[in-house]
Amino acid sequence: MSRTHLHLFSDSTGETLQMVANAALAQFEGVDVVRHFWPMVRSRQHLERIVPELEKAPGLILYTLVNEDTRQALEEKCCQLALPAVDALGEVTAVLESQFGQEAHGRPGRQHRMDEAYFNRVDAIHFTIAHDDGAGSEEWHRADILLTGVSRTSKTPTSIYLANRGYKVANIPLVMESPPPPVLFELSGPLIVGLTTAPERLVQIRRNRLLSLNEASETAYAEHERVEEEVRFARRMFADNNWPVIDVTRRSIEETAAAIIKLMGERTTRAKPPEKPI
């Protein structure tokens, strides 16, 4: 298969553009793609310095340039070089302009501005790190979400992902010999979600974990019957407390987080009072 060059142009950090590219490329297997990343492109002069690289490695251009002058300059260069170019956010922005009845501001990096939402996200990350692995039970009531489950059910990485979305998350390990603090069963504010997985998959993950630590894999921690017992113990606790359960066996961290965010949205909708008829 021939090699494809993918040039990513952004007038900010390029985080959004890279996420779009990752999502699109994930739909293809066995492709040979060389990425060329060009962030903070905010002038024609900057663009002119990049053009020789386009000529040396022609390919697909994917861009998020909100400044009309810079965007037009890039489109002109692509036309001259006969290179396909795609505006990753253009069509969506145009539809939103029509929907809202106003023009987009066109400010580079606007989504990264240090506003209240930014500081709330930073606060959520600090909270989540401080309340990992059962720590800080006296502050669990301040959390938006509590994740609980047996060891190696992706509690910590899911918590960090959700924190980056602005949610304060605490995660609590379930150990048969050491039940969680009673406060867990008294909370009504946070959304408590149980994470579970197939015992076979959990055994494999735990054995790999032990090997990475240069420890013997033939221990109760990774023994199949013991793991099955732990999973049953956790599921009974979830059912007894009527906590929603997510099976992470075949889910990525992003998919698990999306399911939790959906639960949060449903919970918020149920909590809203019905609208009064006009």
Q: What is the pLDDT of residues 182-191, one digit of tens each?
A: 999 999 999 9
What count of residues does the chain have? 278
Please tell me whether 152 is known to bind a ligand.
Answer: yes
CA 41 to chain centre: 26
Helix axes 253-271, 155-164, angle to 10 degrees: 60
Query: Taking a C-beta distance cutoff of 8 angstroms, is the pair 84, 13 a contact?
Result: no
Decide whether 4-112 matches 117-271 in CATH topology. yes
Q: What's the DSSP call for residue 99?
A: H
Please tell me whether 151 is known to bind a ligand.
Answer: yes
Alpha helices in the chain (DSSP H): 15-25, 44-56, 68-81, 90-100, 116-130, 155-164, 199-212, 224-240, 253-271
Question: For the chain, which residues make up each domain, given as ranges?
Answer: 4-112, 117-271
Query: Taking a C-beta distance cutoff of 8 angstroms, is the pair 184, 243 a contact?
Result: no
Please tell me whether 196 is known to bind a ligand.
Answer: no
Please tell me whether 13 is known to bind a ligand.
Answer: no
Q: Which residues of the chain have pLDDT under 50?
A: 109, 111-112, 114
pLDDT of residue 112: 46
CATH entry, 4-112, from 3.50.30, 3.90.550, 3.40.50, 1.25.10 = 3.40.50
Q: What is the pLDDT of residues 32-85, one digit of tens each?
A: 999 999 999 989 999 999 999 999 999 999 998 888 889 999 999 999 999 999
Q: 117-271: what CATH class?
A: alpha beta
Please tell me whether 262 is known to bind a ligand.
Answer: no
Tokens found for residue 260? 């939790």
Would you call 214 helix, strand, or coil by DSSP? Answer: coil
Please tell me whether 51 is known to bind a ligand.
Answer: no
